[in-house]
Every structure is written in structure tokens, then in C-alpha cells.
Amino acid sequence: MESGGAAGPLRYELLGPLRVRRAGEPVDAGPAMQRAVLAVLLLSAGEPVVREQIVQAVWGTRAGPNAPGLVATYVSRLRRVLDPDRPRRTLGGVLATRGAAYRLAVEPGELDLHTFEAARARARTQRAEGSPARALDTLDQALGLWRGAGLDGLPGPFAALHRGRLAELRLATSEERFELALLLGQHHEVVAELGLLAAAHPLRERLRALLMLALHRAGRQGEALAVYTQTRQALITSQGLEPGRELEELQQRILRGDPALELGVPPTVLRTLCLPAQLPSDLSDFTGRTAELRTLARLLGGGTGNAENGRSGAGRWLGAVPVVVLSGPPGVGKTALAVHAAHRLRERFPDGQLFAALHEPDGRPGEAGALLGRLLADLGVEARDLPVETERRAALLRSVSSGRRLLLVLDDAADAGQVAALLPGSPSCAVLVTARGRPTVLPGARAIALDALGPQEARRLWRRLLADGPPGGGAASAADEAAVLAVCAGLPLALRAAATRVAARPGLGLGPVAARLLDGRRRLAELSPGGRGLAQALASAETRLRRTPDGPAAVELLRRLSALGPDGLDPLPPDLPEELLDRLAEYGLVGTAPDGRYRMHPLIALIGRAPDGRGMESGCHHPFSEASPDRSDQP
């Protein structure tokens, strides 16, 4: 249903001075401060915005004690303007109140910025499909939506921040348009317009390189070389830097008359941006997590999965980069959920999807500088152009990602500091992080804590893993299935391992697997085919725990608790050392019960019960040790 109701469809325009239209006719959105409040709501992508956030966004540090009351007044006026058919004294409708927050419903096609972003994504697809002329037409239409500087004339720090973002978005799109025009041989048609825009941005190397190329192709080599000289002088004077490699190479190629600069041969400056697509394969049998997927779609991708409507949702948190942290114990399916959600949202991020494992093969946290180097290389930065210092690499990542719609999936984060160094600066990007134990404390991040699957979701996953039914059928098979589900206790990694054991014994049914799982001495080995799976996840968690200052004491407490509760403890006994429980919780080895007390999952309770009493790291007598052959496949 159109949010304009019977009075006609609404159209919000931010690409210039903010204005509102209904059925094509102007609507008075009120004075500047009221329109600034409207801009905050529009750029929050349908998310509820707390009143205090609006105060900070519109007034900043200059907010007075009457500012919250003014927000309420402006919202009330906006309701009457935007939703004249809404019954009085109701809190729903186009502009709804939710507690101390407000939410503005913006439907597809109602906001010019959404239309612009969708057109830009469509143009990139058209170019990638080999239709540069169609892509150029699409960008011409998109840029035609602009009526001046975005949010022109609106007061407040929020508007100022987004004016800069919108200006960068418009400029980057103009550069893409000029690239396409040059690719199509239209250098004579664009050289004058390109010259004016380049003059307004004397330090913008990409734009200046395009001007050099256009002048060269128009037979004006002297002017092209003069542009290089002017750009170099401006960079040295203002920043103390020499031009980048691409600009230097273009100058040298013009000097030697490189025929590759002529039409038909794509020059370096026109090379297509690297569009990484690094997401691991999705699980075809992924099951459950419906509520979490809905939340992730809302926080990272606007919720619908349709790129054409332009409602990406990315970067709508008052100018910040959207960051969501998935946390939970080993084996709960954090990475599987992150990958599944990222595949569902990939259309929202047409500039690429990056996936980075944040731990080395030996389990140690990856060093931020090395991780940044890999991310930058994946985005097309040459190794010789990588700065040595971590801080400069982080700054380069922010520059390379600016204005691009990228999704970063950062898997298995060690701590907040590691993740903070890898964040892009542009709110057009989004970041999905997985972390063990408690949510990584990262300013501005949204946290989603994963627990074991509920009984119904666990059964659905188990049935899908076994091709929709337990082998053999009958009452005995149903009893065996119930036993397997009870032992796995909703842990997806355990369910998958058990299904692997069943598949390895075709025709034998569930009985042998159920019998081994009910034997506490063999349970962990049965759930760790080939020494991997649950055993590997638990061993990795304990290894990392031991490396912390109080890790050995925490591991000793873990073994004591395991001895108390071979099938888990919910809740844990009172009067245990709080600091050690906190450490175990950080690594996902204990959780929190609904009443706030700690609890231990029954499978995680296996971690401390190594027969030699030295924990899982010792390995030599443990059921999943390489020194102890896995005999669980024998009848």
C-alpha cells in the first residue's frame, strides 16, 4: 500500500534541497529544523530512531533542554503533513511512534536517493554484461535526479555529515559516467564538462586522469601533460605527496605515444574495479534461524532482498557503518548463519562481498596489518602500493571502500581491537562479524547472541540432513532419533556430525550411532568424524583460553565443572569465581541462563573430561587424539 494513503503517493527528494511531493504536487515540510528531523528519519531506512538520537543529529552539542520537546512537536506536525488521513491520537501510520522512538515508513520508489542507488547498481550490472551504452544511459538518468548539493541548506551535524557522503556519491558516479563515455569514444563530447569538474577537484587523481585521457584522445597532448603537472604540484603543495602510480603511468604512456591509449584498448585508468565475490558456498540444507535472518536483513540490507527498490539499508545508522556481531558457543553455527545471510543480501552489495578469517591456522589471532593487506589486495590494490604501517593501511581501506557498496564478513574475531582496524569508513558498506562467547564489545555494533536450536528447528535440520526422514522407520528408529536429538541438544555442528556417521553406515539405521552417542566415553569421538567437527571447535576454544593470563585457572575450573555435570549444568553451582566464569563466557564455554546465572551446554561439558586429566590440549589419550585411532565406525 502506498504510504501516501488516499491523499496520493508521496515522493521524498534529498538530492538537492529537501522537498516532499504528493501526487506530483509540492507539500510544505515545514521550517529548516523540522525538515532536518525529517531527513534523519528518511535516512534511517525505516529503522526506529530514538528521540535523543534525533536531538544529537539535529542540534549536536548545541542542544538545549527544550530540544526533546521540539522534536516531539516537529514529529507531530510532520504526521499531519505526511499522513493527513490518519485518525487523530493514533501512533501508527506513515510516521509511527514506538516508545521513545519514531519510525518513518518509506516505500520502494518514494525516496530519490533509493532510486539513484538502484540505478547506479543497475548500470554496473549492465556494464559487466557488456552493455556500456545502456549503462551510460542509466547513469545519465540517475545523475539527472540531482537538483544541487544533497540536503542543501539543512542545519545540524547529521545533515553536514550526509552532505559530504552524498557529494562523494555523486562525484564517484560522475566519474563512472565519464569512464563509460570515454569507453564509447565520446571524448570530444565530454572533455569540456570533464575539465570543469576536474578544475573543481584539483586533488582528485581519478578525475584528473580521466581528463588527461580525454584530452589525449582529442589530440591535445600538451594540455593532457599540463594537467599532470598541475595535479602533481597541487598534491605536493597541499599534502606533500607525489601522484599515484596510475597517474604517473598515464603520463609516461602519453609521452611515448602508447597506442593502447587509443579506442578499443582499455587503458589502466579505465580498468574495471575489482568486484570480489568471496563468500564460501552456502549450505543447501540450512535450516532455522528465521528470526535472526530477519533481523540481519533489517540491520544490514533493508529486509526485502530486492536490489531494484534501492533500499539497501546499509549505512543508515545516522552515518555510521552498520556492524553486526554474531556470537555464541563453539558449534552453534555462527559462520553458517553469517554466510547464509550474506548470500541472501549479496544483491544489496553490488561492489563486492569480502570474507576474511581472522585467525591463523594455528588458532592465533590474525595480525591487523596482515589482514588489511589481504583485504586491500582483494580490492585491487597492488602489493607495491601497500603502506607498511597498519594505520596507513587502515586509512587506505577506508579510501578504497569510500562510496562503494561492499559487504565484509569477518569470521572468528578475537576482540574488538582486531575488528575495529578492519572497518571501512563509508556507511554504504556493511560488516558482519562472528565471535565466540560474549558479543565483541565494539562501539556502535549491534549484537546477536546465538543459542542452540530449539527442539522443532533441531528436528527439522536433522530430517533435512537425513533426506527428510530417519532411515529404517518404525518405533525403534523414532526412539533412536529422539536419543540422537537429545544428545546433540540443538547444536548444529553435532547434528551434522551425527548425520555424517549415519551416512557412513548405509543400511544400518540410527541404532549404532545412537548407541555410541549414549556412551559418554565415546560421545565426543562420535561427533568428531576424522578428528574434526565438534572436537576441533572445542579444542580450539580451549587452546585460545589457555593463552590468556588467567587461562590455566579457567581451564582447571572448566574440568571441575565437567566432572560435576557430564550432561551439562543449568545453572552452574553458586559461589564460583566470578572472574573465571567471565573468562569462560568470553570464549563461549559457558552461557547465561534466563535468570542471569551461568550454565554449561551438555556437549561443551565434554571439553574438560580428558582421561589423562590434563585437558584437551594433551591429546595423547583423548578419544579424538591422532594417536588414538577412531574406531567408532566399527559395528
Task: Give mean pLDDT in consecutive 10-residue pieces for the chain, a chain of 635 residues.
Answer: 60 97 93 96 88 94 93 94 76 81 91 94 84 92 96 94 92 93 91 96 93 94 96 92 87 86 51 71 92 92 39 44 91 95 89 91 86 90 82 87 87 89 88 80 84 93 79 68 92 92 81 87 83 79 83 88 77 86 86 80 74 36 29 29
Residue 456, CA distances (Å) to 109, 482, 570 in order: 39, 12, 21
Report the pLDDT value the prediction gives residue 613, as an integer from 0 to 100.
Answer: 36
Question: Are 314 and 378 contacting, i.e. CB atoms less than 8 angstroms apart?
Answer: no
Q: What is the pLDDT of residue 92?
A: 64
Cell of 353: 562481498
Q: Give the three cell numbers for residue 105.
A: 515508513
pLDDT at site 313: 40
The pTM assigned to this predicted structure is: 0.59
User: By the 8 A CB rule, do 225 and 251 touch?
Assistant: yes
Sign of the C-alpha dihedral computed for residues 57, 58, 64 and 69 taken in this order: negative
| Residue 26, strand partner residues | 21
Which helix (H) or strand (E) element contains residue 3? none
Edge-to-edge strands of the sheet including 430-436?
353-357, 407-413, 430-436, 323-328, 446-449
pLDDT of 70: 96
- What backbone phi and psi angles, to 5 degrees, belong to 555? -65, -40
For residue 98, what is its C-alpha cell? 514506538
Euclidean distance between CA atoms 105 and 459, whole angstroms? 37
Structural contact between residues 494 and 524, judged by C-beta atoms closer than 8 angstroms: no
Number of residues written out for the chain: 635
d(CA 24, CA 80): 18
Q: Which three cell numbers stand for residue 241?
A: 605527496
